[in-house]
Every structure is written in structure tokens, then in C-alpha cells.
Structure 1
């Protein structure tokens, strides 16, 4: 459907909304059933909201919306309406779900178990939100904005914010809470990376061979993988040579090596990690 000169894919929009809602619900469950009852906090605006709640008694479900809105307005100005709308929707769902989950009995009162499983669950939730094009933390938007105005990277700015916020938990709750919060934050960050970039453990491979036609044909027909042929030049002899590039799963690396070395035993292969892959199959798909 076309509206005001723009084509709207309602199926993609529906999948985005569902992903944002599911991610926010999972995130809220991890916070309210594991972390918050044990005085363990997350980083970013969520952590600030939890600290303010502990000091003032204002409900977390209210603070998470009020404190994030200024950041999302900045995001609207800097990064566009799409991200701002997606982030606002995710935060509203998080707020509504938090008002429900906080009335339930905590999943565990063991701070160690809460740290491990809470970090995993909120990491999955935030990863789904990010993969759906949203955000649950306004400090990320501030970091992107400050990146253009300072010599620090986005990651360094976010780390500074979070170390300050998580360290403050030691003064508001206890230093045990601060240390548990740091562990939960580390686990959460690893899970966010795993979910948002994919779990397929894909590998990119560069193949330098003189028999590029035969090797490319074998990869396409024997493994059902697409191959891209790049034109290159040797650094020492300055001779022209072609380089093949393809992406396979971790389990297919050994088979690909066998296929290549069966044709050209002297072929050079470079294998590296690929974070996210779409397409690349030949069988049942178009190249």
C-alpha cells in the first residue's frame, strides 16, 4: 500500500510491532521477577529508574516512561521518527507489563540465581527489541549524539554511563547489589549480542585459487551455496587473480575445505566470523 508517496509493508510493520512487544514483555519479566526483588539493577535509564524508585517510592512503571521520553525526543531529532516511535512503543509495553509483573511473587530470592537468569532473560528481551528496530534505553541515543561531539566512541560513552549507574547501586542498596548488578549487566550484554546478531555462527570464507571456475562450480552444486567472484591482484608478483567469497555455517567449514582442496590442494583460504547473514543459499532460493 502506498501512502503519501511511500510504500508501507504492513506485514513487515506487523512483525516489527510483535517483535517489539514480545521483547519488552520478556525484558519486563526478567526485571520484575528476578532482578528488582533482589535489589539488582540494569544499566541505562532502567537502572536510573530503579535507583530513583528506591529513593522516592515513585513506581518504576511511571519512571521508565517519564525518564526515557526526553531521550527519545532527542532520538527523533537525530535518528528519525522510525526509531523514536519503535522505542516509545517498546517502553510503553515495558511499563504496562511491569505494573503487572511487580504484583507477582519473585521467581527466586537467591541473588546469585537472580543475577544469572535475570541477566539472561533481560538480554534476550532487549536483543529481540533491538533486532526489531527499537530500543529500551535512552542513554544509547545520547551516546550516539555525543559521539559526534567528543573523541569518545559510542561504546565508551555507554560504558561510562553504566559504570556510574551500577556503581551508584552500592550507595542506594549495598555493595553486594552493585557487584551482582555488574555481573548481570555483563551477562545481559552477551545475550543481547547473541540475539540481535543471530545464533547461526556463520563463517565468511575468502578463497584464492587458480581454478576458480571449478571451485565455484563445486561450491554451488555440491554445497548449494552462492559464491561471489572478486577480481584482485597479487601483492608481490602483481599478477591478476580472482578471489572467491562465500558464507557457510560453522558445520559446513570442514566440508568446504575438502571440496576446495580436492580441486586445488594449493588453494589459500581465509575463514572469519560473520555476525548476520540473509540469503546465500542456491537451492530453493534465487541468487
Structure 2
């Protein structure tokens, strides 16, 4: 059993490292093929790195976006190492270093300089890469680290800080390239967020109601596969045959839905299952360690 766990851990590490490398390629495509030709700024630290690179172009020693992306993340690595975890920090470092290298070495292809096309496709490509990274348990650095640290200590998200920071990036695009580019950058941020939400489903909560005649086996299967608590409502009755039923309630993430389906198929394939999305959670909800 210990040997199998070691094999699984090595497999998980290889998957995360491969995802970090793939993210580096994807963000470099978004940067070099769409954002830079279209004068579009990204969100967060990446957008700030673009801004600093634009400002330093007129200096005697111009510094690239790749350099600033790595330099701005260096102090955040130290925060992540102390506050979040060593494994998280290592894979975050890999994601940032791969993206910095790929942005530097991947030569851009002049597909188009149309700002609307660049905003939409750059945002979509980057959103896919970021969502894929988060889905596989790695961070892309920057504001992700600050968000996790603040959430760990206060339980609150940094949504407002994120909005203010990205608002600053949009205004910078307007000052640098003209105000229409501020709107183009805002469009790119919107597309990026929507595509990222489509790919990364771990943060989306779903309420599950199960009507079953075999509550014990269903509970055991769910708790074994998903590590989720279950609330039991006894004394339910089916209206058609008037047979005894038990109602079970639990909350899962959308990422866990396939595992729930397998658990139900294993425990009670004839159970009635209702799933509702967009659940607001108050109280403890288990989040796996990063």
C-alpha cells in the first residue's frame, strides 16, 4: 500500500510539473501572439510586468516582460514558502520560471494586430492555461499567492483588491496606448475570467440531495471517495409505492461531480439525485491542501 502511494505521489508530481511547463507555453502564446501585438494588458502581476516593460523601453537598459514577471514574483515565493507550503511554492516557482523562459524564447508570430481579436483570443488562451494550472493544483504566482495567504489568515477573499489592481492595469493601458485600449484590455480580462471559470471547476459548489433506500452504503461510498460530510433526514416516504426512504444532503465542488456519480453507481444506482449549482457556503467546507 505504501509503495502504491509513493507511485501515485510521483505520478502527481510529474503531472503538476508537466502542467507548469504547459502553462508556460500557453501564457507565452497569449503574450507574444496576441497581447503584445494588440497592445493589450493582462491581469494581475503579469499585467504589471507588461506595464513596467513598456515604461522601461525608453531607458538605456530596457527590461523585458519576462524579466519583470520573474522579478515581481520572487518576494512572493518567500511568502508562499513560509505561509502556504513548500510543495505549493515549488510548483508555483516552476510555473513562473517556465512562463518567463517561454515568453523570452518563443518568437512571436504576427497573426494580427487587431486589438479586439487580440483581446478576445489572448484572454481565452491565457484563461485556459490558468484554469488548467489551478485545476491540477498549482498556482501561477502573483495575486494567487496573496489571495491564499489572506484567505488562510482571515477567511476572506481578495476580490476587491483584485478588482482595484486590475482597474489600475486597465487605466495604464489607456494612458500608454490610448483610451480605446483600456476598453480592449477590460474585454480581455473579462474573457480571461470566463474561460478560466469554465476550465477550473474546483471552486464551484453544488448542493446534492439524494433520496435512497440504502443510506448506509451511500454514505460510506461518498465519504470514502469524496471526504464530504452528509446530513441525514429520516422518515421520508415515496409517494408512488409508499416505501420508506432516507434523504441525504451534502455539498461538493463541481470538480467532484464525476466522483459522486461513480460513488452513487457503486452504492445505489437506483437512487434519486438532485444537484443544484451556485451554492453559497457558510460554515466549514473541506478544501484539500495545495
Length-normalised TM-score, structure 2: 0.71
Among 111, 116, 120, the alignment partner of 1:116 is: 120
Change (3 A) 1:213 1:63: closer
- Unpaired runs of at least 5, structure 1: 221-225, 234-239, 244-259
The answer to whether residue 12 in structure 2 is matched with residue 12 in structure 1 is: yes
Please give the residue correspondences for 1:72-111 in structure 2 after superposition, counting only pairs within 5 Å: 72-101=77-106, 103-111=107-115
Question: 1:65·1:91 contact (CA, 8 Å) conserved in 2?
Answer: yes
Question: 1:27·1:124 contact (CA, 8 Å) conserved in 2?
Answer: no
Change (3 A) 1:104 1:79: same
User: Residue 47 of structure 1 corresponds to which residue in structure 2?
Assistant: 47
Could you tell me how far apart the structure 1 residues matched to 2:101 and 2:76 are? 19
Q: State how many pairs are aligned.
A: 248
Could you tell me how far apart the structure 1 residues matched to 2:208 and 2:153 are? 37
User: What secondary structure sits across from 1:183 in the alignment?
Assistant: helix
- TM superposition shift of 1:147: 5.0
Change (3 A) 1:263 1:186: farther
User: What secondary structure sits across from 1:65 in the alignment?
Assistant: helix
The answer to whether residue 254 in structure 2 is matched with residue 275 in structure 1 is: yes
User: Residue 143 of structure 1 corresponds to which residue in structure 2?
Assistant: 147
Could you tell me how far apart the structure 2 residues matched to 1:276 and 1:107 are? 35
- Unpaired runs of at least 5, structure 2: 58-62, 268-290
User: What secondary structure sits across from 1:206 in the alignment?
Assistant: strand
Change (3 A) 1:40 1:70: same
Could you tell me how far apart the structure 2 residues matched to 1:28 and 1:51 are? 16
User: Residue 280 of structure 2 corresponds to which residue in structure 1?
Assistant: none
Length-normalised TM-score, structure 1: 0.71
Larger Rg: 1
CA RMSD after TM alignment: 4.0
Could you tell me how far apart the structure 2 residues matched to 1:39 and 1:261 are? 63
User: Residue 179 of structure 1 corresponds to which residue in structure 2?
Assistant: 183
Once the two structures are overlaid, the 10-residue window that deviates more, 13-22 or 272-281, is: 272-281
User: Residue 255 of structure 1 corresponds to which residue in structure 2?
Assistant: none
- TM superposition shift of 1:7: 4.7
Could you tell me how far apart the structure 1 residues matched to 2:138 and 2:151 are? 20
- TM superposition shift of 1:207: 4.0
- In the TM superposition, what whole-angstrom CA distance separates every residue of 1:72-95 from its partner, at most 9, and x where no partner exists? 211111111111111110111111
